[in-house]
Amino acid sequence: MMSAMKSTIPHENKSPAPPPGRRKKRIVLKFGTGILTEQGSPTLDGAQIWKLLRGVAEIQRAGHEVIVVTSGAVAAGLNVMGFSQRPTELAVLQACAAVGQSRLMHFYEQALREWNLHVAQMLVTHEDFSIDQRRSHIDNTLRQLLAAVSVIPFFNENDSVAIEEIRFGDNDALSAQVAILAKADLLILLTSADGLIPPSGEGIVAVVKSMDEVAGFARKEKGAFSVGGMADKLVAVQRAVEAGIETIIANGRKPEQLLELINGQGTGTRFLPA
């Protein structure tokens, strides 16, 4: 499906400087499982992935640095392993992730070829961020990848050996850890909602200055093929903003607005750094 789509972005290997008056930013994008698969199905959505990767290319073409934290490995492996619903047994989930991770990266690599960009896979665990030597190795590798402007780093939890994100959070916590390690200017959590919905259920909250304002806003529902709900996202948001990183929750089905979000516009919930 993606091979038939053609890019309208010029193919260049060198990232240009940002427009006059704007500085280069380091952006971390988090792709949730719900925006990578067909709605109501565990099948990877090729057209949707292409749109997401087009947004990544546009950010890179605008002169910014972009890092992606991706979920979706378990969902990508469900069909191959013969499941139509997400299983509950941990070992089975890990096996699905082992199968699905390569399929997911193949989709990304295929899509990014449209813009002469390449995938760098970074499989990590939460323990890697808590041990100084491992954290330093991740940091050094990431620096080299970002220096190669035609390479986009993709982080995912190594689900075949770790269980934190496979059971809780759908990589929300991981995205905050990566943003903090990378000293990102902005973390954007892309989900299936336009932003944080207030208790009234009307519209979305546009700007949050203090996490105390929205402590009771999180809803409990989660997707059939994903595990991260809004409560998990708010925990990740709090960690990021406390580290001084502006964070946005926005709709991943609308990746055409990514540059608007980076420039302070667009539709989403913007959490100001502490």
258 located within any domain: yes
Which pair of structure tokens corresponds to residue 161? 């050996």
Domain residues for the domain of 155 are: 22-271
Does 165 map to a domain?
yes
Residue 217 pLDDT = 81
Query: Is residue 71 one of the residues assigned to a domain?
Result: yes
pTM exceeds 0.85 for this model = yes
Q: Is residue 58 part of a domain?
A: yes
What is the per-residue pLDDT for 206?
96
For residue 5, tell me if it sits in a domain. no
Res. 9: pLDDT tops 50: no
Q: Is the pLDDT of residue 166 over 90?
A: no
> In the chain, how many domains are there?
1
- The answer to whether residue 13 sits within a structural domain is no
Say if residue 16's pLDDT is above 80.
Answer: no
Lowest mean pLDDT, pick from 73-77, 160-164, 232-236, 246-250: 160-164
Indicate which CATH number applies to the domain containing 205: 3.40.1160.10
The mean per-residue pLDDT over the stretch 15-42 comes to: 80
Res. 36: pLDDT tops 70? yes
pLDDT at 17 exceeding the cut of 70: no
- Per-residue pLDDT of 193-215, as tens digits, reads 999 998 888 899 999 999 999 98
Choice among 60-69, 87-96, 171-180 with the minimum mean pLDDT: 87-96
- Across the range 77-99, mean pLDDT stands at 89
7: in domain:
no
Average pLDDT score, the chain: 87
Check residue 159 and give its pLDDT.
78
Domain assignment present for residue 17? The answer is: no
